[in-house]
Structure 1
Amino acid sequence: MAEAFAALPEMDKDSYIKRWTIPARSVDGVLPRHGVVVDESSGSSGVPTSWVRGRDERLATRQLLQVGFSRTAETLRKQPFVLNCFSLGAWATGMNVTTSLTDVTMIKSIGPDRDKVIATMLEFGPDYTYIILSYPPFLKALFDDERIIWEDYDIVAAFGGEGISENMRAHITKYAHSAFGSYGASDLEINIAIETDYTVELRQAIAANPELSSRLTRQDEYGVLPMIFQFNPYDYLIETNGDGELVVTIVRKENVNPRIRYNIHDRGHVLRVRELNAVLREFGLEHVIRQQFLDLPVLFHYGRSDLSVDFNGAVVAPDALRDVLSSDQSLLSAVENHRLVSFEDASGNRQLHIALQLTSKATTEGTFEAASYRTYILERLRSMNGDFNNAILTSPEASLPTIAFYPLRTGPFTSDGSKLKNEYVWQLGPTAPQDWELDLTFRAQKSRASAD
């Protein structure tokens, strides 16, 4: 049986989702007449993709979210009040969170609107524990807002859509007494795995000990500290293929649209708790083991493998930037190379910088109209990718994307040509602007250009 299963080909969005219609991907080739909820994502392609979720699978998602919520609620001194600040409307996460938690708690579905969050907390006062759910950049900007005295309130933060650094967690927990993340994907389910006390302490121990990191992770290979989650193996079978990518099978047979060996093009791997604990004992980390609540397998997640970056819950691909550059002859002639640079600034804000290297000719002549093209490129990317546009509209001002043109072999392109292949994505640390002389002076605007 195991050999037969392993022989099944991997599926992904291009080979499976785009190839077949929604009914063709459904059990028995038809969609149920009732009980189906449709949400959507547009991702890096910009073309909205609808995802159908039947009653049984929504129940499973609801139960998992409610279990996580109940465990949090057990530790609270005050009545919980959930503020759902994920994007609402057709987007998957916000809608599913609301429907899943309505039966078990008091909830207000606000969306990523700081003004409404603060107004709600001021109106209801400090007699509740506010469980604020959103993307990390929103949480960072919210807690930086000085219109409310945060120490007067009891807060729990939960995030999804992208990972965080431990520096960012430390910043959030100045205001919230805990901050936990969730891992999911519209292609699969919104809540496949969750951070726990055990995985957070494990991640912090790995961050502090390079030797432990080399024993347990692939941080040296991928250049990023992995997010660490636990998941239910009775719901999900998670494999790692030869390219280091996660291949996920939803084990439940009730799903309207089954997923069997689905590759979402994220890097990662799984370890059993007993394997991890054996290594932790070698390093004298008994205090980490004591945080273990459930003997569930542990997922190490390193981000996307398809050279895309996350920005405020949206996926931005260098191929999309390439297509924008190719769409205009002047741009195509003037730009030598392009790069998406993701980093955390000194204030803990996650930043996306779009870097463009001019050709030798454009650098020498100095006649290229860079100013007008910065706006053009951002507008085109927003038009192509609805999620990216929504991420800009809901992003705090300090985290809006920046864009700059650089003369040949300057700034982040100083060492270009030293490697055989171009690097189209950089994931950098907080010292990036100083180390790489990034020009962060031109920042995107939330409003759209009238010509769009």
Structure 2
Amino acid sequence: MKRLLAFALVALVDGAVRPLTHSVHTHKVLLGPGIEPLRWWLGRLRAWRTFEFAARHVPAYRAFLAEHGRDGRLVVKGSLTEALRGVPEMDKESYIKRWSVTERCVGGRLPRRGVVVDESSGSSGTPTSWVRGREERAATRQLLQVGFARTASTLRKQPFLLNAFSLGAWATGMNVTTSLTEITMIKSCGPDKDKVISTMKEFGTDYTYIITSYPPFLKSLFEDDRLNWADYDIVAAFGGEGISENMRSHILRYAHSVFGSYGASDLEINLSIETDFTVALRRAISADQRLSDRLTRTGEYGVLPMIFQFNPFDYLLETNDDGELVVTIARDRNINPRIRYNIHDRGHVLRMRDLLPVLKELGHEKVVEEKFLDLPLLFHYGRSDMSVDYNGAVIGPDALRDVIYSDPELLEAVENHRLISYEDANGDRQLHIAIQLTESATSAAVLDQARFRAFVADELRRRNGDFHNGIRTAPEGTLPTVAFYGHHTGPFAEDGGKLKNEYVWQLPQGGLDRWEADLSHVVARE
């Protein structure tokens, strides 16, 4: 009876809500203040319904559950949240790669019409194809349009969106173009600085240019001196990876707003967004150790989290025992459902009702004044499977990024960075911290590399106590090394051939030999 009543309620709510989502303006009603508890509760009911729907109608999911000794019914004896946590997690290895695309679809088949196929970047291996039906694409389009409308409503000039995400089959670039074409002026340039700059020169200064891309491209674009950036009105929107607050401040020298969103090809490209409130909160956390200790796991991961807001009506976000995000897309109309999908990102959720008392207690009333939506918060620390182990410590590329961008001189001079773990001739695991200089910094040769090698090592140790202890107790001959490399040299010689930067390499024995890497700069033990 509980199941029937819950699903009847969800069907009633979905029937009432669906007409509201057909318009950007009416969709905003669903994000209005004061109904967060209802959204939270209904989202869990929808996740329950979607789980049982997928178990009945998706052949791969039915087989996946059987392997875990589960049937397709959720028994709710206590809280619904705890019952859902008992559903087995899936990920790319355990589910996506083991069954065909059609077996993972509702009814075991792909619809004849209305399906779009896009790809993930393949940054962790071979690119994977993802299929998206009409309902899913409509939901993505509505969310992107709502976010865009919020930004456009604050602009003084006509918006002109320059889509500098990678185009072709890649999920983000394609979805941004198809979702926003009908509501704004748009040119899909791809990550091509020449095209972006020539377009802005051609159309002039009468527009607000909303430039969307990956953070490294935005940094490189704004450092190009072929344009007098001060003459142009610019909003920067990024995705694909996080940024430090120093990087945001750097970009704000050229753009009057800088916002990011969080998504994944495995799931959807716009699961959550930054708002004025989340940016203010992140900056407060960065400046106040007390607030950081109360709200984040920065001490554990060594990185300041990105902070986003998401709609719990559409997405159920959980954290497992390993600190990884587990995501359920609550809509039952996706042709390829994902139930408790582990994207292997570190993160956790905090509800607004639990956050606001802490902010007031610690004297951050100004942050509270920035509150835009009473949606829950997602704290995101980067990928859990893009890190290296060193003598019992875990170091992630986001931590190295935050260190590099914490110094203005380094931020200007560095184009890319990489953590390289390899095995030496003696069979010992080694860690090499490689930092690539920009083309201009390479030719100018003015960076005090000795000072900044020490700075990078000291800051990593200060921010990550496990790494500090790992260095103090490391066996002889296994201390990490830090080196700067000229533009497109050494480990970075072939950069630019892939969609996204590679920040972590796990190499076989003697893996650095091919570049004659500079290993003389050893991190001091004390």
TM-score, structure 2 normalization: 0.65
Offset of residue 159 of structure 1: 0.1
Q: Is contact 1:353-1:440 (8 Å) kept?
A: no
Find the aligned partners of 2:105 and 2:314 in 1 and give their Cα distance.
19
Matches within 5 A, 1:131-210: 131-210=210-289
Are 1:64 and 2:109 matched, yes or no? no
Look up the match of 1:283: 362
CA separation of 1:95 and 1:397: change in aligned 2, threshold 3 A: farther
Q: Is contact 1:132-1:157 (8 Å) kept?
A: yes
Offset of residue 285 of structure 1: 1.3
Offset of residue 439 of structure 1: 3.8
Look up the match of 2:330: 251
Look up the match of 2:193: 114
Look up the match of 2:418: 353
Are 1:418 and 2:473 matched, yes or no? yes
Find the aligned partners of 1:359 and 1:137 in 2 and give their Cα distance.
31
Look up the match of 2:101: 22
Can you give the 5+ residue segments of structure 2 that lack an aligned partner in the other structure? 1-75, 390-394, 429-435, 443-453, 458-466, 498-526
- Percent identity, aligned pairs only, is 65
SS of residue matched to 2:485: coil
Find the aligned partners of 1:72 and 1:152 in 2 and give their Cα distance.
20
Counterpart of 2:283, as a letter, is Q
Offset of residue 287 of structure 1: 1.3
Offset of residue 230 of structure 1: 0.1
Counterpart of 1:265, as a letter, is H
For this pair of structures, how many residues does the alignment match? 372
Find the aligned partners of 1:63 and 1:101 in 2 and give their Cα distance.
9
Look up the match of 1:329: none
Counterpart of 1:187, as a letter, is D
2:493 to 426, 437, 444: 444
Find the aligned partners of 1:447 and 1:199 in 2 and give their Cα distance.
32
Find the aligned partners of 2:472 and 2:235 in 1 and give their Cα distance.
47
Matches within 5 A, 1:266-305: 266-305=345-384
Counterpart of 1:440, as a letter, is Y
Are 1:233 and 2:312 matched, yes or no? yes
Can you give the 5+ residue segments of structure 1 that lack an aligned partner in the other structure? 309-317, 320-338, 364-391, 401-409, 427-435
CA separation of 1:399 and 1:55: change in aligned 2, threshold 3 A: farther
Find the aligned partners of 2:345 and 2:320 in 1 and give their Cα distance.
11
Offset of residue 446 of structure 1: 5.2
Matches within 5 A, 1:216-227: 216-227=295-306
Look up the match of 1:41: 120
Look up the match of 2:514: none
Q: Is contact 1:244-1:267 (8 Å) kept?
A: yes
Find the aligned partners of 2:287 and 2:240 in 1 and give their Cα distance.
25
Find the aligned partners of 1:244 and 1:350 in 2 and give their Cα distance.
30
Offset of residue 238 of structure 1: 0.2
Find the aligned partners of 1:84 and 1:268 in 2 and give their Cα distance.
28
Look up the match of 1:328: none
Counterpart of 1:444, as a letter, is A
**CA offsets, 1:43-79, max 9 Å, x none?**
3443221000001110000000000000100000000
Counterpart of 1:20, as a letter, is W
Find the aligned partners of 1:278 and 1:160 in 2 and give their Cα distance.
30
Offset of residue 417 of structure 1: 8.8
Report 1 or 2 for greater relative contact order, CA contacts < 8 Å, sequence distance ≥ 6: 1
Offset of residue 396 of structure 1: 7.5
Offset of residue 351 of structure 1: 2.1
Find the aligned partners of 2:424 and 2:352 in 1 and give their Cα distance.
52
CA separation of 1:39 and 1:214: change in aligned 2, threshold 3 A: same
Which structure's residues are more often helix, by fraction? 2
Counterpart of 2:203, as a letter, is F
Q: Is contact 1:138-1:396 (8 Å) kept?
A: no
Offset of residue 5 of structure 1: 2.3
Counterpart of 1:438, as a letter, is A
Counterpart of 2:247, as a letter, is M
Offset of residue 447 of structure 1: 7.7
Find the aligned partners of 1:399 and 1:200 in 2 and give their Cα distance.
30
CA separation of 1:255 and 1:356: change in aligned 2, threshold 3 A: closer
Q: Is contact 2:121-2:170 (8 Å) kept?
A: no
Counterpart of 2:485, as a letter, is L
2:156 to 74, 77, 80: 77
CA separation of 1:399 and 1:51: change in aligned 2, threshold 3 A: farther
Find the aligned partners of 2:360 and 2:386 in 1 and give their Cα distance.
36
Look up the match of 1:263: 342
CA separation of 1:362 and 1:38: change in aligned 2, threshold 3 A: closer
Larger mean Cα displacement after TM superposition, 410-419 or 351-360: 410-419
Offset of residue 286 of structure 1: 1.4
SS of residue matched to 2:250: helix
Matches within 5 A, 1:341-380: 342-343=400-401, 344=404, 346-348=410-412, 349=414, 351-353=416-418, 355=420, 359=424
Find the aligned partners of 1:362 and 1:6 in 2 and give their Cα distance.
41
Find the aligned partners of 2:441 and 2:370 in 1 and give their Cα distance.
34
Q: Is contact 1:182-1:193 (8 Å) kept?
A: yes
Offset of residue 356 of structure 1: 6.1
Offset of residue 444 of structure 1: 1.7
Counterpart of 2:418, as a letter, is H
**CA offsets, 1:156-201, max 9 Å, x none?**
0000000000000000001100100010001000010000000000
SS of residue matched to 1:438: strand
TM-score, structure 1 normalization: 0.76
SS of residue matched to 1:66: helix
